[in-house]
Amino acid sequence: MIAYVIRRLFTGVVLLLVVSLATFVIFFVVPRLAGASPDTLASRYVGKAPTPQAVQAVKERLGLDDPLIVQYGRFVKGIVAGNEYKAGNDVVLCNTPCFGYSFRNSVEVWPQLMDRLPVTASLAAGAALLWLLAGVSIGVVSALRRGSFFDRLGMTTALAGVSLPVFFTGLVSLALFSYYWEIFPAGGSYTPITENPGLWAYSLVLPWCTLAFLYAAMYARLTRAGMLDTMNEDYIRTARAKGLREGAVVTRHGLRAALTPIVTIFGLDLGLMLGGAVLTESTFGLPGMGKLAVDAIRGSDLPIVLGVTMFTAFFVVIANIIVDLLYAVIDPRVRLG
């Protein structure tokens, strides 16, 4: 068990390195291949007065003249051991884990990520709760009453749900609930839960529902398919033949097996979402990780983009490990090892 976790953590670290390397390649190697020199890269981070001296200074400060491998090494070292940065009269110490400083505003990346995390976490947690409850229960009921009116209605709605882009649903719900009926606030009015829990929930209702609609639809379809599959299995027939009550058959045998793939996907989805629900945050103007990343990509602010992608990959790794541990609980056939 412990060996298993350690092994998973190790592969997780490898995964994180790969993700960071890929991000780094996209921002620094691909442009180089496309003909950009360290000078043109540096000129992206100079303010509105790109004098040659300024470009030179930025190049030195960001170390853009160093070989790519050295630049990448510096980034990895920062995460593990922290880094020192020159900031004029002071030398600033950036503690572990140090993701460096934004190329744009010279603000440390880590606190910026920590700033945005609560927003994204609030969004993800609320939406996940909604879609798990709605999606799984609709899926189960639909499977058990296959062909019924409920099944048809549920599955039609679910199909519509997976066919609607979240930024469109978001806009329509904003137009209806915020502009015409004035029930919920317009986009962007996020209040931290620590400040006012009521307002926090109120301001997130629309984003939660928008996001949950999409995912609930996917989960309802998955759950239904999984349930139908398992309920056809021999062991279910056996259980029934043994004279178990239908309720017990469904919950103890059917649901258990049908839930395993759902749990895997849920882990992955939640992990990815903690790294930013890019489209939902953009549509509702929520200052979360996704919006931070999109803005950073637009400004070629590599340290921030790296920070967000690493963060996301980290959550996915953790979520996967937790999911695998949960497996053993849900599905008795699975043994870790």
Partner 1 sequence: MTATAAGAVVLALGLAACGGGGGGGGDEGAEAGFNAAVGGIVNKDDKPTGGELKFAMSDDIESTDPGDTYYAYNWDFTRNWARTVLAFRNEPGAAGNELTPDLAEGMGTPSEGGKVWTYKLKQGIKFEDGTPVTAKDVKYAIARSNFSDELQKGPKYFQQYLDAGDYKGPYKDKNLDNFTGIETPDDHTLVFKLKEPFGEFDYLMTIPQTAPVPADKDTGLEYTKHPVSTGPYEFQGDYAPGKGFTLVKNENWDAATDPLRKQMVDKITFQGGQDAQDIDNRLASGDLHIDLAGTGVQAAKKTQILADPSVKKQADNPTTSFLRFFNISTKVAPFDNKACREAVQLAADKVAIQTAWGGPTGGEIATNAMPTTLPGYKRIDPYATPGHKGDVAKAKAKLAECGQPNGFKTNISTRSDRPKEVQAATALQQALAKVGIQASIKDYPSSTYTNEQAGAPSFVKKEELGIMLYGWGPDWPTGFGFFSQISDGRAIKPSGNSNLAELDDPRINDALDKAASSTDQAEREKLYQQIDGWVMESATLLPFVNEKTLLYRPPSLTNMFIHEGYHMYNFTSIGVKP
Partner 2 sequence: MTGLEQGVSATLTAPLDVTGTAGEVTPEATLSGAERAIQGRSLGQIAWMRLRRDRVAIAGGIVVILLILMAIFAPLIVRVIGHPPNEWHQEMIDPTLSTAKGVFGGVSLDFLFGVEPLNGRDLFSRVVYGARVSILVGFGATLLSVVIGTFFGVVAGFFGGWVDSVISRVMDVFLAFPLLLFAMSLAGVIPDNAFGLTGDGLRIAILIFVIGFFNWPYVGRIIRGQTLSLREREFVDAARSLGARNGYILRKELLPNLVAPILVYATLLIPTNILFEAALAFLGVGVAPPTATWGGMLSSAVPFYSVAPNFMLAPGLAIFVTVLAFNLLGDGLRDALDPRAR
User: Which is closer to partner 1, CB of 121 or CB of 330?
Assistant: 121
Q: Does 47 bind partner 1 (CB under 8 A)?
A: yes
Burial 86-125 (b: 16+ CB within 10 A, else e): eeeeeeeebeeebbbbbbbeeebbbebbeebbbbbbbbbe
Select the residue interacting with partner 1 from 137, 157, 264, 300 (CB under 8 A): 300
Contact status, residue 185 vs residue 132, Cβ threshold 8 Å? no
Choose the binding region for partner 2 from 19-27, 87-95, 97-105, 245-253 (rule: CB under 8 A): 19-27
Q: Hey, which residues between 178 and 197 contact partner 1 (CB under 8 A)?
A: 179, 185-189
- End-to-end alpha carbon distance in the chain: 7
In sequence order, which residues have a C-beta less than 8 Å from that of residue 189 and are 6 or more positions away? Answer: 203
User: Which is closer to partner 1, CB of 6 or CB of 34?
Assistant: 34
Three-class secondary structure of residue 187 per DSSP: coil
Contact status, residue 281 vs residue 123, Cβ threshold 8 Å? yes
Residue 265 is classified by DSSP as: H
Contact status, residue 267 vs residue 323, Cβ threshold 8 Å? yes
Q: Does 144 bind partner 2 (CB under 8 A)?
A: no
Give least dist CB 88 to partner 1, A. 2
Query: For residue 14, what are its two tokens?
Result: 């490898």
Q: Does 142 bind partner 2 (CB under 8 A)?
A: no
Q: Are strands 83-87 and 90-94 parallel, antiparallel or unpaired?
A: antiparallel
- The residues of the shown chain that bind partner 1, judged by CB under 8 A, are 36, 39-40, 43-44, 46-51, 53-55, 57-58, 60-61, 86-90, 92, 105-107, 111-112, 115, 179, 185-189, 284-287, 298-300
- The residues of the shown chain that bind partner 2, judged by CB under 8 A, are 11, 15, 18-19, 22-23, 26-27, 30-31, 34-35, 159-160, 162-165, 167-168, 171-172, 174-175, 179, 225, 228-229, 232-233, 257, 260-261, 268, 271-272, 275-276, 278-279, 282-283, 293-294, 297-298, 300, 305, 308-309, 312-313, 316-317, 320, 331, 333-334
